[in-house]
Structure 1
């Protein structure tokens, strides 16, 4: 049986250079002006190297802005559901308020409806990691006796992250510590009957 030919191993330095270049270009010019030619020229790599890694501009922008989700650490245990939700709310806001994410977020959201592959990566990557964070804090709250019964992590994800998302990408409503605290407090009150 003949051996399968294997190509050269993928160069992680090219991966890093391309992603960093995309982040810079997004911050400088926005998603609409991002193109593979500009990325290749600035990163000093061939377009073929980029297309071997990413099928489209949307895939490339997604990889550059929705990164490190596999390494998303569990949220800090503050000792209360409200405190844990506040930790997550701050983390979500930091991610969405990142300059590159603000440039590309609305475009990626629009692209999700047109690209089943990208939508699947979004669901299996970022959303799954975020939902795991919510499941972790809900399990802690249940262990502390804060919850009367089971709570759906996806619902809590929507209740906390939804207003932050619309603030960043929809309504352009300013978000600050006071609003993040109000979101965490309101959701905790609805789930536990207390603002602790």
Structure 2
């Protein structure tokens, strides 16, 4: 008897968590997040926009942080991923061009600065952003670096974290912080500047490891 009652409760609970309702809640969360920001975001305003009761949200998540974390982990945030364009310079230009388009979207300009601001805090949301969004972005840039190394355009020991900063930082700052235009001319200029910086970084890496390589050869 006890087992049948438990099973009945589980079935009823599972039936309440309709995927379409969850998607509607997430859509409403994104809209409200863009409208008021994470700090002012509340479960009540999300429920109101989604047309459901607050109980529908709390059956799924314990609060807004838990909900946003689940949303990031489940549906993710779109990142720039570049297929092989044949050269490092072409890869960089495509990356920067695609990044400009992605960051210029209305939802991106409203949501991303707010979410990334959370990364300066020691919260579960901050950890989720780092382990999902930031990790995927680093892997995307690492693919560009790996191809350049295979072509002989960059040193294998080049600092990939620095490469990531050089690729991701300027465009983010330009669009989401200073709010300056990013036309083709700017993308071309930034491509040249980034290429020069990566070449200098690669040469510095080569100079740093060359003495150790010579010392290794003389001791053999």
TM-score by length of 2: 0.70
Larger Rg: 2
Q: Does 1:8 align with 2:5?
A: no
Aligned equivalents of 1:154 and 1:120: distance in 2?
Answer: 18
- 1:60 matched to which residue of 2? 68
Q: Which has the higher helix share?
A: 2
Q: Does 1:156 align with 2:173?
A: no
Q: Which of 71, 87, 90 is the matching residue for 2:97?
A: 90
The superposition leaves residues 117-144 of structure 1 with CA deviations (integer Å, 9 ceiling, x where unpaired) of 1111111111111111111011111111
Highest RCO, 1 vs 2 (Cα 8 Å, sep ≥ 6) = 1
- 2:206 matched to which residue of 1? none
Q: Which of 97, 101, 105 is the matching residue for 2:108?
A: 101
For residues 123 and 96 of structure 1, do their structure 2 counterparts lie closer, same or farther at Cα, with a shift above 3 Å needed? same
Alignment map for 1:130-145 (pairs within 5 Å):
130-145=137-152
Aligned equivalents of 1:92 and 1:144: distance in 2?
Answer: 24
**Structure 2: gaps (5+ residues):** 201-220
The 3-state SS of whatever aligns with 1:189 is helix
For residues 114 and 177 of structure 1, do their structure 2 counterparts lie closer, same or farther at Cα, with a shift above 3 Å needed? same
Q: Does 1:20 align with 2:27?
A: yes
**Structure 1: gaps (5+ residues):** none
For residues 41 and 161 of structure 1, do their structure 2 counterparts lie closer, same or farther at Cα, with a shift above 3 Å needed? same
What's the offset of the Cα at 1:111?
2.5
RMSD between aligned alpha carbons? 3.2
For residues 23 and 124 of structure 1, do their structure 2 counterparts lie closer, same or farther at Cα, with a shift above 3 Å needed? same
The 3-state SS of whatever aligns with 1:53 is coil
The 3-state SS of whatever aligns with 1:186 is helix
The superposition leaves residues 97-134 of structure 1 with CA deviations (integer Å, 9 ceiling, x where unpaired) of 22122122332233223342111111111111111111
